[in-house]
Structure 1
Amino acid sequence: MTRLPALLLWLCSSAAFASPPVQLDVQLERGNGPEPATLDAHRCQEVACGNVLRDLYEGLVTEDARGRLIPGMAERWTVSRDGRVWTFTLRPGLRWSNGQPLDAAQVVASFRRAFSPATAAPFGELFDALHGARAVQAGEVPPASLGVAAPDARTVVFTLDRSAPLPALLTLPIAFPVYLPAVAQYGAQHTRPGQLVSNGAYRLAAWTPQANLVVERNAHFHGARDVAIERVRFHVTEDAAAELQRFAAGDLHVTEVVPPQPLEALRTRFGAQLRISPYIGAFWLGMNLTRPPLRDNPALRRALALAVDRDRLTRYITGLGEQPAYGIVPPRIAGYTPASTTWATLSQPQREAQARALYGAAGYSKQHPLEIELRYNTSTPHRRMALAVAAMWRDVLGARVRLRNEEWKVFVGNRKQRVITQVFRGGWIADVPDARNFLAAFGSDGPLNWPGYDDAGFRERLAKSDAANTEAARNAWLRAAEQRLLNADAVVPLYFYTSKHLVDDRVLGYEANALDRHASRWLRLRP
């Protein structure tokens, strides 16, 4: 047997056991949907900004490529026996992207800023278990009353009023630390390149409105040596068909969505590059319950819900594995049995017959048709969906439907204000895999209650779920709350999402996960 020289043996063994070398000077091109409404982590409320913020920031807890919770800024944490006191120990030597030290006191100050009334954080209500959170957001008590404290430079303690899945909640952008000196100096402009200071794997390098954002590897990130991709460019890709063509031309490594097309044709064209997987998300149409014609008209709302053929919608319009929805909470949430509309078991002809009868009972007919506006944000899939639903309402009921599409930021503002909206594109993507996450917004008059649903019975059931002593009892009360919401026809469930992307063969480390989050720090590019 030939004996290898000692140096060659050492090199071979080192290559076999060493981590793959960090690949620098490469750029990942990602489609990202609409222009992010903001890069203020505490004000983010949509996927487009969340994708970028998860590259720029890291919370106390984060997720790996498969969506599993792992340490972030905190190297470890403990919880009291009653589930109400959580103690997090920070990693030593944490720094901001500008090199300044990051300690527990700054984490606490950032949380206080997130929940202050001036910030108006839209996801604040998801933290209603945090002591003082609601009162602070309402301006009833000062931010210092929030149940977050820093007993020393490396310890953050949270006090809750009831048990809650706090580590999962801490992965949300509202829980990211914001660099308050920049906020004090630049105000709303602290999110601009050269002014945004973050703590994640990347730092903001450039932002060209309605075109793209570029982030660069943050040398001060605690895990910087394991971040393989030097730069990431997030492209604004509101037109899904154009995004697909850019991918086919080699301009994008990853798409945000895939436009509705025959599934077999897509598989034939793209093969293993087409990634479709289960996703905890629900798509529905919201109804403005604060203004006519939908306010105080349950018969009309039910008629509109019944007239939609969800099987046709998911088979021919979306067509990428979506499941017809008759509820708000998607399947696949552990321990929870979703509620369903009372008419889900009827055939479509039976539903349509009921829809016509209710339409007439609501005071409408061929001679006096309903005139209503369906509003959606600019997007190829949403336009196809709106056209299909409008056609169903016209054919089944004789309604006259005006379609109104708006750029994302305008749409979000109008939907939140509930002034000019009638029927609008809604839905929810899970922030945490918990049924309550899909229902909580309807229990208050907060910025996420787009229909303006106001029902004491719903709030009572939500409160009883919070007070439940067992997980089974909690889920039972949540299901009762969901059923009450469905019985009121405040929304029209359409389908449950699948995640669907095109991923270039050169991209390594892209893993399917139930929340469809793919931080760039876990990815590599094959040369």
Structure 2
Amino acid sequence: MTTQLRSTPKIFTLFALLLFSSISFADSLLLRGNGAEPETLDIHKSSGVPEANIQRDLFEGLITENAKGELSPGVAKEWRVDESGKVWIFELRKDAKWSNGDSVTAKDFVFAMQRAVDPATASEYAFILWPLLNAKAINKDKTKDVGELGVTAIGDFQLKIELENPTPFLTGLLSHHMAFPLHKASLEKHGKRWTRPNNMVSNGAYQLVEWMPQSHVLLKKNPYFHDAINVALESVKYFPSEDQNAALKQFRAGELDVTADVPSSQIDWVKKNLPESFRNSSYIGTYYLAVNLEKAPFKDQLALRRALSLAINRKILTEKVTKGGEIPAMGWVPPGMNHYVSQSMEEASLPFKEQLAKAKALFAKAGYSKSNSLEIELLYNTSENHKKVAIAVAAMWKQALGVKTKLRNEEWKVYLNSRTQRQFEVIRAGWIGDYNDASNFLDLFRSDVGTMNPSSWVNADYDALMKQAEKETDVSKRSELLQNAEKILLADMPLIPIYHYTTQHLVSTKITGWEDNVMDIHPTRFLQKK
């Protein structure tokens, strides 16, 4: 009996420790809806927001973002620019570590950026690094070797970046996942499997633990992260959540702390019943339709492209369908970009009744009528919100012009492949600013950016203006060049802008540290769970 009496408190103590540790773990695990299943976690192979959300937790670039989405020092503690504006020197922090304990050095950035622009990598996003010296010659023209890229390690903790032209938005560019460092030894050891759990070595606040396709991606705190002491959450679990209605139910059941989106049909209900959790803020991005210019019916049919654009009542669509405060768009670059005045289609100031009359006239000019109408297919990636927009647009085209639209939806990875292979006639798309500069939107329609140009549009005058803007150092003159380029884009209509984004989330009242911002960037390292 004596032994039993003495052992009982120990058993109770052990039970209590297990109980409270489980409670602590639950409070330090963030359950995060993330839209689509990630295409890949390879920083040079991905192009979507779901991937970027995870990569931002796993890696840290020279420049990073704070809780408000503002640029702040990352691995680089400070930097300076020479008088020409074309040579930047970055001083790296010596306490930056990889998740295996190795030091993050300047050579890791050189290796990663060379891999990014190497034609063998076949990165669709490589064009974002073309401002770097010789980057385009290596990546596109293939006239130089990757060793000639303007990124040089000066010792372990100093990095020199040389540019083709002065690039005032370079700090924003360097916060992008295309400019993150890579752990060379792990890539060489594991090859294409380097992004697998147990293989990936990362330098961000978190490291990869599990990836169960169509289930979750689990990250845990990186103990070697230089600011680990201020990272409150021990782990974060990202869930694919393409079904927004299901995600709403999961949130209400406590199975999600944060949603990637809110179903548009439920926004009124959410505002009334979950006002403390509903977040709705401006977002630097444009929702649009791209048309395939490689084949009929849109190739060499400007009148048809313009007719379809003018037949869409964007005011009705944003007020009655999306309901998130989106801004109806008849231009490409969203308002609010630094040193830029957004442009619009010439008909933007007309009442919709007059826009519709012009749409009908253009439709007839293109050789179509309600008795000899157009049949097209509209592709969108799986999402209740995208489906509602597609149905609404198809109904507007049908009512105004008699167009018969077949809707086709595909899950994210399949959709991306269809986009790349140009296996569509009209495709739903969206572009979110990587940094606050109009060129980040306008570069997408340059003829030399490859498959990231969604319509395969080619316009020599547009390309010439974009090249002039690259070299222009006067802010006002550069802005004028970019604005003229956007005017050409909107006149030739390779895209149909629908609206400028707002972003909606449900954030549990247990979560603190969430800051609404126009970049919609919310690194897990800044969040806490009560």
The TM-score normalised by the length of structure 1 is 0.94
Q: Aligned pair 1:340/2:344, yes or no?
A: yes
SS at 1:271's partner residue?
Answer: coil
Equivalent positions of 1:180-259 (< 5 A) are 180-259=184-263
Structure 2 residue aligned with 1:9: none
- For residues 167-197 of structure 1, give each alpha carbon's deviation from its aligned partner in whole angstroms, at most 9, with x where no partner exists: 1111111111122222222222111111111
User: Are 2:28 and 2:528, in contact at CA under 8 Å, matched by a contact in 1?
Assistant: no
How many Å apart are 1:476 and its aligned residue?
A: 0.8
Pair 1:352 & 2:356 matched: yes
Deviations 1:455-491 (A, max 9, x none): 0010111112122231111111101001100000110
Alpha-carbon distance in 2 for matches of 1:327, 1:480: 13
User: Does the residue aligned with 1:241 lie in a helix, a strand or coil?
Assistant: helix
Partner of 1:63: 65
How well do the aligned residues superpose, as a CA RMSD in angstroms? 1.3
The corresponding residue for 1:80 is: 82
Question: In the TM superposition, what whole-angstrom CA distance separates every residue of 1:351-386 from its partner, at most 9, and x where no partner exists?
Answer: 111111211111112332101000000001000000
Deviation digits for residues 183-212 of structure 1, max 9, x if unmatched?
222222111111111000000000010111
Counterpart pick for 1:305 among 303, 309, 314 = 309
Deviation at 1:245, TM superposition (A): 1.1
Q: Is the 8 A contact 2:166 2:473 kept in 1?
A: no
Q: Secondary structure at the match of 1:28?
A: strand
For residue 30 of structure 1, the aligned residue among 25, 32, 38 is 32
Q: Output the amino acid matched with 1:437.
A: N
Residue 473 of structure 1, aligned match among 474, 477, 480: 477
Q: Of residues 493, 496, 503 in structure 2, which corresponds to 1:492? A: 496
Q: Deviations over 1:200-256 (max 9, x none)?
A: 000000001011100000001111111100010000000111111111111111111
Q: Does residue 348 of structure 2 align to residue 319 of structure 1?
A: no
Letter aligned with residue 120 of structure 2: A
- Separation in structure 2 between the aligned mates of residue 125 and residue 472 of structure 1, nearest angstrom: 24
Choose which of 109, 112, 116 in structure 1 pairs with 2:111. 109
SS in 2 for 1:36: coil
Equivalent of residue 52 in structure 1, options 51, 54, 60: 54
State the SS of the aligned residue for 1:152: coil
Does the 8 Å CA contact 1:462/1:478 hold for their aligned counterparts?
Answer: yes
1:8 matched to which residue of 2?
none
Q: Which residue of 2 aligns with 1:146?
A: 149
Partners of 2:70 and 2:116 in 1: CA distance: 25
Return the letter of the residue paired with 1:480: N
Q: Structure 1 residue aligned with 2:292, among 288, 291, 297?
A: 288
Offset of residue 137 of structure 1: 0.9
Residue in 1 that maps onto 2:280: 276
Task: Measure how far apart 1:59 and its partner are.
Answer: 0.3
Aligned length: 504
Give the counterpart letter for 1:466 in structure 2: E
Confirm or deny: 8 A CA contact 1:287 1:424 kept in the other structure. Answer: yes
Can you list the C-alpha shifts for 1:270-328, whole angstroms capped at 9, x where unaligned?
11210111111111100111111100011111110011000010001100110100100
Query: What residue identity is the alignment partner of 1:146?
Result: L
Give the corresponding residue for 1:10: none
1:95 alignment counterpart: 97
CA contact (8 A) 1:121 1:174 kept: no
**Structure 2 counterpart of 1:328:** 332
Say if 1:44 and 1:174, in contact at 8 Å, map to a contact too: no
The CA deviation at 1:24 is: 9.1
- C-alpha distance in 1, partners of 2:342/2:96? 42
Identity %: 41
Q: Which amino acid aligns with 1:501?
A: H
Shift of 1:268: 1.0
Moved over 6 A (4+): 22-25
Q: Note the C-alpha offset of 1:269.
A: 0.8
| Native 8 Å contact 2:281 2:516 kept in 1 | yes
The letter of the residue matching 1:319 is: K
